A and B are shown apart, each in its own frame.
Chain A
Amino acid sequence: MEHSKYRIYTVMAVMCAAGLVLIGQLVRWQVVEHYRFVAWAEAEHQDELVIPSRRGEVRDRSGYLLATDLIEYDISVSPKIVSDPPVTADRLDALLDMSREEILQRLTSKKPWVPIAGGVSQSVGETIFEWDLTGLQVEPRPKRVYPEGHLGAHVLGFVNNNGNGFYGVEGYYDTLLRGKPGLQAGERSPFGEMIPLAVSHFVPPVSGATLYLTIDRTVQSLVQQELENAVRQYQAQGGSVVVLDPKTGAILAMAGYPDYDPNTFSVSDNSLFADPNVSEQYEPGSVFKIITMAAGLDAGVIGPEGIIYDGGLIEIGGRVIYNWDRQGHGNVDMTDVLAKSLNVGAAQVAMALGKDRFYTYVKRFGFGRLTEIDLENEGPGTLKTPKDATWHESDLGTNSFGQGIAVTPVQAAAAIAAVANNGLLMKPYAVQRITNGERSVEVKPIVVRRVVSADTAHTLTNMLVNALKRANSQALLPGYQVAGKTGTAQIPVPGGYHPTLTLTSFGGYLPADDPQVMILVIIDRPSTSKWGSQTAAPTFNRIAEQMVVLLDIPPDDVRLAQAGQ
């Protein structure tokens, strides 16, 4: 009797426990996790379809297409629901570049989903889509195409397979270019189709904006061609060129060599992607004497006809600075300092200025900070000032002729352009207009600041013109007054500078009295000559000679005669 009572209690206890578990689970499902199950149930028959937006185009200043999206199709299959694989294979065989056996093998695969072909052309993709075959999926996929190939590759950048823009304007304006994807949400049938009468929500996609660059494709092509020729002719390792309108800061052309074709970026060397004109820094060498001279003239510590004595060397902060030819040139005026590119003269100007004023001017010209050009991956360069622990007294001397300071080509170009533009530093920019449907936004030139007075700028321009004439520079262009300066910089290596390799440059503008174009040429490690006067200057000349025709800049006498009429 006692034993049976015990068994009844045991059964009751087990049943109570089971009942409690059951009640507990019901409470969990009905109360605690109510929303989760509701959401789960809704997800079973509610569907959200993201409609991709169309990426905007990129065009040059005249409207020529430089980048656009081409639609390709990916074809895939769910083999289990294909109604008649052999017939489907026959139809696909006629369009796809695959054998019938291969297609049939995929159509009859045991897997739930199998890709058949990727990157199929638009006409083929649309034909298959219109067949509306059960089990076949035809998905459109945009592919970024650059019809001009290499042209302006560094300025443009590229778009990867996931639709993300990198480098150049593709990277900088990625958000604007990609637009906003649309959304189609609603109840779907067991076949996966939206139920028309159910509550639905549709947000149309917004296409990306179209960018009109300041780049002129003809000028860009000329610059790229001449740069490539120069790199080959002087057996250099590379080079870069910046061409801008000094009055606005608009980039007319910007090239780096070697470059790549953005259509095939995936098989290109990654190191070629960054634009050397905005991302890489270099020691500018004697081109920087333009800045030192501008500062000296503006501060009034020197005059254009002021005479200094060049003994061939000068000691600053315990370091002896020599001229490039290790010679003394005696009494020279400031134009001679530029014409003969005398380091000793530039160092004397910097010393006369003093470290505070010198670096104030250097910063005003925009060195050591971003120009804020609208291209991705811009670097600020490297500028040591007396406030930095690593700065040394001798840096004042070496910086005066562009050694021990690193700048980006676009910084150097913008700074020289400021002298051409009556002392006003303009913000360089690569996009002149952004349009989206009916709306259009013009990008206005931005004055960053006045770096020197207009009088200083005019005086320095005349000095630069005369300096080129005195030096009988190869940059001179018959019929035009050219202002500019060569540079030959040693290449820094760990522990000092490379004994033989140089980076040569020429920065100049024309016509000197009314500058229309500023050109900076940089040749990296030329082998035939290590001097800027024999490599970068003639390259400048060749570019300028053709550019005046492209930009319709008549010779000075013709232009002045026209202006006088």
Chain B
Amino acid sequence: MSSNTMISLRPENVIRQLPWRLDSKAALGFLLLLATFSLVGWLYLSQASAVTTTSYRIDELRVELDQLKNQNASLSLEIAELEALSRVEARARDIGFEPTTGFEYLPVTHYPMPLESEATLYGATHIESSIDAYAVEVESPGWWVEKLDAFAAWLESE
């Protein structure tokens, strides 16, 4: 053993002199590789997490959609049951309506109205007089109109 061999005990020298000391370039490469793997891993995990969350959310929404469709069908059915002819007829009888019999058709001049412009056909005066006649009718509704209104109001309240 040579006597002039100096062994420094300073930490930086100890590290520098270690036999397994890594080359700085290799260390940098290793760090980069580690960082890349970490990044890819992080990306994968975050994506997997997002996919899983979204997947469960889709499942939940699918169930919710199904339930809404079911509720919709149930409401449609309820409406149909309320509108059922047998029920409407029974309620109509309850409030005094009777089946219609003994119809009498009255021919009404110019009914149905022609498709052409009324102004062209009859002139403005004729239309005004028609509107006036109608207005008089509306102002004094008969017994039948009152009954119809009562029935319509009852239907709306239902």
Contacts from A to B (Cβ < 8 Å)? 54, 57, 64-65, 68-71, 122, 126, 140, 145, 147-149, 151, 194, 196-197, 217-218, 221, 479, 549, 554-555, 557-558, 561-562, 565
Binary contact readout B48-88 vs A (1 if CB under 8 angstroms, 0 otherwise): 10011001100100000011011101101101110111100
Complexed CA–CA distance, A558 and B100 (Å):
19
Query: For B69, what are the chain A residues with a Cβ–Cβ distance below 8 Å?
Result: 54
A197 and B52 contact, CB distance less than 8 A: yes
Mostly, the B contact residues are: helix
In the complex formed, the residue of B with least CB distance to A72 is B70
Complexed CA–CA distance, A479 and B66 (Å):
55
The total of interchain contacts (Cβ-Cβ below 8 angstroms) comes to: 67
A196 and B56 contact, CB distance less than 8 A: yes
Shortest Cβ distance from residue A542 to the other chain B in the assembled complex, whole angstroms: 11
Query: For A71, what are the chain B residues with a Cβ–Cβ distance below 8 Å?
Result: 70, 73-74
Query: For B85, what are the chain A residues with a Cβ–Cβ distance below 8 Å?
Result: 148, 151, 217-218, 221
Complexed CA–CA distance, A69 and B74 (Å):
8
Shortest Cβ distance from residue A458 to the other chain B in the assembled complex, whole angstroms: 26
A196 and B84 contact, CB distance less than 8 A: no
Q: Which of B48, B51, B73, B100 has the most CB of A within 10 A?
A: B73
Complexed CA–CA distance, A243 and B106 (Å):
27
A65 and B86 contact, CB distance less than 8 A: no
Query: For A554, what are the chain B residues with a Cβ–Cβ distance below 8 Å?
Result: 105
Sampled A-B contacts (24; CB under 8 Å): A57-B76, A64-B80, A65-B79, A68-B80, A122-B71, A126-B70, A140-B70, A147-B81, A147-B84, A148-B84, A148-B86, A149-B84, A149-B86, A151-B86, A196-B56, A197-B52, A197-B55, A549-B100, A549-B103, A555-B105, A558-B106, A562-B107, A562-B112, A565-B110
Q: Which 4 pairs from chain A and chain B are nearest by CB?
A: A196-B55, A65-B80, A147-B80, A71-B70
Q: Which of B51, B52, B76, B107 has the most CB of A within 10 A?
A: B107
Instruction: Point out the residue from B48, B74, B79, B83 that lies within 8 Å of A197, measured CB to CB.
Output: B48
Instruction: Point out the residue from B52, B76, B106 that lies within 8 Å of A65, measured CB to CB.
Output: B76
Contacts from B to A (Cβ < 8 Å)? 48, 51-52, 55-56, 59, 66-67, 69-71, 73-74, 76-77, 79-81, 83-86, 100, 103, 105-107, 110-112
Complexed CA–CA distance, A140 and B106 (Å):
57
B73 and A69 contact, CB distance less than 8 A: yes
Complexed CA–CA distance, A145 and B70 (Å):
13
Q: Indicate whether A561 sits within 8 Å of B107 (C-beta atoms), given known contacts A148-B85, A149-B84, A196-B55.
A: yes
Shortest Cβ distance from residue B68 to the other chain A in the assembled complex, whole angstroms: 11
Complexed CA–CA distance, A217 and B88 (Å):
13
A558 and B74 contact, CB distance less than 8 A: no
Shortest Cβ distance from residue B22 to the other chain A in the assembled complex, whole angstroms: 37
In the complex formed, the residue of A with least CB distance to B103 is A549
Shortest Cβ distance from residue A396 to the other chain B in the assembled complex, whole angstroms: 46
Query: For A197, what are the chain B residues with a Cβ–Cβ distance below 8 Å?
Result: 48, 51-52, 55
A65 and B77 contact, CB distance less than 8 A: yes
A68-B80, A145-B77 given; 18 more Cβ-contact pairs under 8 Å: A65-B80, A68-B76, A70-B77, A71-B73, A122-B74, A147-B84, A148-B85, A148-B86, A149-B86, A151-B86, A196-B56, A217-B85, A218-B85, A221-B85, A549-B100, A554-B105, A558-B106, A558-B107
